[in-house]
Structure 1
Amino acid sequence: MYNIKTFNAIAPQGLAEFAEDYVINESDTPDAYLIRSVDLHDHKLPENLKCIARCGAGYNNIPLDKALENGTVAFNTPGGNANAVKELVIASMIIANRNIIDAATWAGQATAGADITLRTEQQKTKFNGTELLGKRLAVIGLGHVGSRVANAGVDLGMRVTGYDPYLSADAAWHISQNVKRAKTLDAALHNADFVTVHVPKNAETTGLIDAQELQVMKPNAVLLNFSRLGIVANQDAVTYLNNGRLRKYITDFSDDQILGHKDVTIMPHIGGSTVEAEINCARIAVAETQEFLETGNIRNSVNLPNVQSPFTSAFRFTLIHQNVPNMLGQISTIIAGEGVNIENLVNRAKDNYAYTMVDTNDLSAEQQYYLIDKLNNIPTVTRTRLIKNRA
C-alpha cells in the first residue's frame, strides 16, 4: 500500500488514475507528495518521503538539495500545460497589436444614448492596430512551450526566429522548418517585433533580458514573459518603456516594479490555468509517481538523472547516493558477499548525486532485510529501497 499526500487542488481526473493499492491524504508520513504551487522550502520533509511530483513545469518551489539529502526524487510535468501557455502568448500578442483592452474599456465606459453608434464610429480610429501577419517573432527557448509558440507564429504568417543553445535533437523534430535558428541571443532579438521568453529559471537565465539585451531590441518591440519572474529584469524593462525604447511589456508575474505602469499588462499567473492543462499535469504526475514507486524508474526528474530499465527480475534494489568513486564497487561487493547474483545493474549520475538500480532474482527474506540495512549504512547513501516485481 502506497500513501500519497496532495497539496493544492490536484485534478481528480488525474488522481483517479492511481491504482487500487494507493491511498490519498490518509497519512502524515506519505510515500509521495503531489503538489502545484505550495512552497516547500521551509517545510520539513518526512523521512519516508520517496518522491515529490510537481504538477507543472516550474519547480522553484521545491528545495532540491534538501530533497536529495532526504533521499527524495523530485519530478515536474514538462509539456503538460504547454498548449495552454502557447494560447495565452498568442492571445497576448494579438491584444498588444490590436489595442483590445483599451478599446473594450472605452466601449464599456461609453455613455448610453442615441448617438453611441455614431460616436463609436468616429472614435474607433484611435484604437487602430496592426496585424501579426509578416511581423518578426523571436522565441527564446524552444522547449515544450517555446516550440509550440514558434510553430503557431509560423501558422499565423509571422517571420519566426528561435534561439536555444541547449536544443535537444528530439525537440528539434517538433519545430517547423520555417523557424529560423539564431546562433546568439542578440541575433534573435535584433529587429524582432515581438520577443517571448520560454526558459527555465536558474542562475544562467535570471536577468536574461536586461538593459544590455533591451538595447539590442527595436524601440517599438513588445516583450512577453510567461516563463518565470526574474527572467526579465523588470526595472530595466520599466526604464526602457519610460524612454520609449520598448512599446509594451506583457508578463504572467506581478511585481512592485511594474505594477500600475500604463504600458505593462500583468496576468495573474494564468499561463497553465486551464482545465485541460491541470488534468494533463495531474495525469503525468501520477504516472511518474507510480512508475517510480513500483519499478524505481525515474522519468522527468529535476534533481536526479532520468533512468529507465525494464524490470524483468524478481527484485530491484534502488540507491540514491553521492556521486563519488567506488560506489558501484561497494554496492556490488555487499550484494555478492551474500551470494546473490546480480542480473542487471544501471547507474547514472547528475552533478553531486547518482542513482543506481540493481536487479536480482533470488533473495531470501533474511537476505532482503540484511542487504537493505547494509546498503543503507554506506555513508554516502541517502536512501535504499527494495522493490518486488508485481508482474
Structure 2
Amino acid sequence: MPESLDRKFNILTLNAIAAIGLNRLSADRFQIGSNIADPDVILLRSHNMHDMPIPKSVVAIGRAGAGTNNIPVNQMNARGVPVFNTPGANANAVKELVLAGMLLASRNIIPAIRFVEKLQGDDTALHQQVEAEKKRFSGLELPGQMLGIIGLGKIGRLVADAAIRLGMKVSGFDPKITVDAAWSLSAEVRKVNEIETLVHRSHVVSLHVPLNDSTHHLVNTDLVAKMQKNTILLNFSRDEIVDEDAILVGIEKGSIKNYICDFPSQKLQHHPAVIALPHLGASTKEAEENCAIMITDQIKDYLINGNILYSVNFPDVTMEREVPYRTAIANANVPNLLGQISTCMASIGLNIHNMVNKSRGEIAYTLVDTDKPIPREIINAIENITGVLMVRYIPKLSSNERQ
C-alpha cells in the first residue's frame, strides 16, 4: 500500500543482530527492537519461526546466515513475502572450522589430548608414559590426500582452495553448480559426476549442501558402504544431511575413521570416533558482522526501492530508479498476470517508464516505474487480481536515501 515519506519501518529482531549492521538502518526511518508490534520486517539468526504466528504486516524476513530451515518459507510464498539470507557472509568462518576439523582428525588430536589429561605422576613418569603410548596417536599428513567436497557453493570453493594450498588433491561433486560458481572454481578441482565415485576415491569427505528433500540423509548406509577404509567425514552443513545410524555402522565396519560435525546429538555423544562441536560454524565476530551488514543492506534496499537480491524464494530483481513512482508486485507465476497489471495502469493513462519482471518457481516479481503517482483505486484493483499476492507502492526517495 502507499507509504508516506516520513513513515518509519518497524523491524522486529528475534535474535541479537550485530550493531554494525543495525546501525546502517537510520533511526529517522527505521524502528528496531525485540518487542516491535506489527513489524514490516523480521530479522533473525537461528530462532525457530515455525511455531510462531507471523503478523500480516510482515513484508520481508531476513536471516543473518545461510540456512533458512528455521523459517516457514512455503508459508511466506503463499503470502508473497520474500525471505532473504546471506550466502557467503560466514563462508570463511566455516572454512576455517572445516580445516580445523581435518587437522583434529588426521592427527588424532582429540584422543591425544584426552590421553594426556589422564596422565598421573611426576615429570619423569609422565615422560615415560608419553614415550610408551604416543605411537597410538600417530596420524597422517594432508599433502597428497584426496579431499572430496560435496557441494561447491561459496564455502565448498573456499575449502577447496585452502586444501589445494595445503597440498591436498581435491575432487568435487555438485550437479546443481551455478555458472558463476563453476567459473570461480579452481581448475585443480577434479569434477566428479557421481557421488559414489567421489566418496570411494576420497580420504576426506566434506559436506557443503543445504538441507532439503533431496539432501536429507544424503549420507546413508549405501553411501557409507562406498567409502574407502578410514575415511574422515566432515559435516558443517546441517545435521540431517547424514543418517546417524549409518555413521555408527560405518565406524564399526571401519569405513569411517572419524565423523566431525557441528551438531551434537544424544546418539553420537561420547562416541570416541565422533568429534562434535556446539554449532560454531558461523560463531566468529567477523562472520556475525558480515551477516548483519549484508542482511540489513538487503532489507533496506527492498523496503526503500523494492529491489530483491539473495532471496531463497524470490528471483533476483533490481532496477535503477529514474522516476519517483514505483510499484512492487509479487504474484503467482501464471500466464497473463503481467498483462492484467499493465491493463490496470493503462486504464487511467499511466505511462510505464520502466519495468522488470522475473520469476522463480511458483513466484513472479515485478517492479514498475510510472511517470505519475498511482491512485489508491488502481493499487486496489491490482491487489484484487487473482494470483496477486502482495502489492507495495513505494514513494519517491528522499534526498538522503538516494545517496
The separation in 2 between residues aligned to 1:111 and 1:325, in whole angstroms, is 77
Deviant stretches of 4+, over 4 Å: none
Q: 1:45, 1:67 within 8 Å by CA — same for their partners in 2?
A: no
Q: Do structure 1's residue 52 and structure 2's residue 55 form an aligned pair?
A: no
Q: 1:295, 1:389 within 8 Å by CA — same for their partners in 2?
A: no
Instruction: Provide the residue aligned with 1:85 in structure 2.
Output: 94
- In the TM superposition, what is the alpha-carbon distance from 1:326 to its structure 2 partner? 1.0
- In the TM superposition, what is the alpha-carbon distance from 1:162 to its structure 2 partner? 0.9
The separation in 2 between residues aligned to 1:79 and 1:32, in whole angstroms, is 22
Q: Do structure 1's residue 150 and structure 2's residue 160 form an aligned pair?
A: yes
- In the TM superposition, what is the alpha-carbon distance from 1:112 to its structure 2 partner? 4.3
Q: Residue type matched to 2:389 in 1?
A: T
Instruction: Provide the residue aligned with 2:248 in structure 1.
Output: 238
Q: Which has the higher contact order (CA 8 A, sep 6+)?
A: 2
Q: Do structure 1's residue 380 and structure 2's residue 390 form an aligned pair?
A: no
Runs of 5+ consecutive residues of structure 1 not aligned to the other structure: none
> In the alignment, which of 315, 324, 327 is matched to residue 305 of structure 1?
315
- In the TM superposition, what is the alpha-carbon distance from 1:19 to its structure 2 partner? 2.6
Question: What SS does the corresponding residue of 1:358 show, helix, strand or coil?
Answer: strand
TM-score in terms of structure 2 length: 0.93
> In the alignment, which of 7, 10, 23 is matched to residue 3 of structure 1?
10
The separation in 1 between residues aligned to 2:356 and 2:150, in whole angstroms, is 35
Residue identity (%) = 40
Question: What SS does the corresponding residue of 1:68 show, helix, strand or coil?
Answer: helix
Question: What SS does the corresponding residue of 1:173 show, helix, strand or coil?
Answer: helix
- Structure 2 counterparts to residues 267-346 of structure 1, below 5 A: 267-346=277-356
The separation in 1 between residues aligned to 2:215 and 2:123, in whole angstroms, is 55
The separation in 2 between residues aligned to 1:350 and 1:175, in whole angstroms, is 25
- In the TM superposition, what is the alpha-carbon distance from 1:177 to its structure 2 partner? 1.4
Q: Residue type matched to 1:157 in 2?
A: G
The separation in 1 between residues aligned to 2:135 and 2:267, in whole angstroms, is 32
Instruction: Name the CA shift for 1:388/1:179 in 2 (closer, same or farther; >3 Å).
Output: same
Question: What SS does the corresponding residue of 1:72 show, helix, strand or coil?
Answer: coil
Instruction: Provide the residue aligned with 1:169 in structure 2.
Output: 179
- In the TM superposition, what is the alpha-carbon distance from 1:70 to its structure 2 partner? 2.6
Q: 1:45, 1:70 within 8 Å by CA — same for their partners in 2?
A: no
More deviation, 117-126/103-112: 117-126
The separation in 1 between residues aligned to 2:190 and 2:234, in whole angstroms, is 19
Runs of 5+ consecutive residues of structure 2 not aligned to the other structure: 1-7
- Structure 2 counterparts to residues 1-391 of structure 1, below 5 A: 1-20=8-27, 21-25=29-33, 27-115=36-124, 116-363=126-373, 367-390=374-397, 391=402
**Per-residue displacement from partner, 1:200-242 (whole Å, max 9, x unpaired)?**
1111111111122112110211111111121111111111111
More deviation, 54-63/258-267: 258-267
- In the TM superposition, what is the alpha-carbon distance from 1:117 to its structure 2 partner? 3.0
The separation in 1 between residues aligned to 2:283 and 2:162, in whole angstroms, is 19
Q: Residue type matched to 1:79 in 2?
A: G
Instruction: Provide the residue aligned with 2:5 in structure 1.
Output: none
The separation in 1 between residues aligned to 2:79 and 2:53, in whole angstroms, is 10
The separation in 2 between residues aligned to 1:126 and 1:250, in whole angstroms, is 20
- In the TM superposition, what is the alpha-carbon distance from 1:109 to its structure 2 partner? 2.5
- In the TM superposition, what is the alpha-carbon distance from 1:124 to its structure 2 partner? 2.1
TM-score in terms of structure 1 length: 0.96
**Per-residue displacement from partner, 1:153-205 (whole Å, max 9, x unpaired)?**
10100011011111122112332211111122122212210001101111111
Q: 1:3, 1:30 within 8 Å by CA — same for their partners in 2?
A: yes
More deviation, 256-265/5-14: 256-265
Q: Residue type matched to 1:386 in 2?
A: Y
Q: 1:57, 1:78 within 8 Å by CA — same for their partners in 2?
A: yes
Question: What SS does the corresponding residue of 1:172 show, helix, strand or coil?
Answer: helix
Q: 1:311, 1:389 within 8 Å by CA — same for their partners in 2?
A: no
The separation in 1 between residues aligned to 2:239 and 2:118, in whole angstroms, is 33
The separation in 2 between residues aligned to 1:374 and 1:129, in whole angstroms, is 70
Q: 1:147, 1:175 within 8 Å by CA — same for their partners in 2?
A: yes
Question: What SS does the corresponding residue of 1:345 show, helix, strand or coil?
Answer: strand
Question: What SS does the corresponding residue of 1:317 show, helix, strand or coil?
Answer: strand
Q: May I ask how many residue pairs the two structures share in their alignment?
A: 388
Instruction: Name the CA shift for 1:220/1:307 in 2 (closer, same or farther; >3 Å).
Output: same
The separation in 1 between residues aligned to 2:123 and 2:271, in whole angstroms, is 35
The separation in 2 between residues aligned to 1:2 and 1:141, in whole angstroms, is 37
Q: CA RMSD in A?
A: 1.4
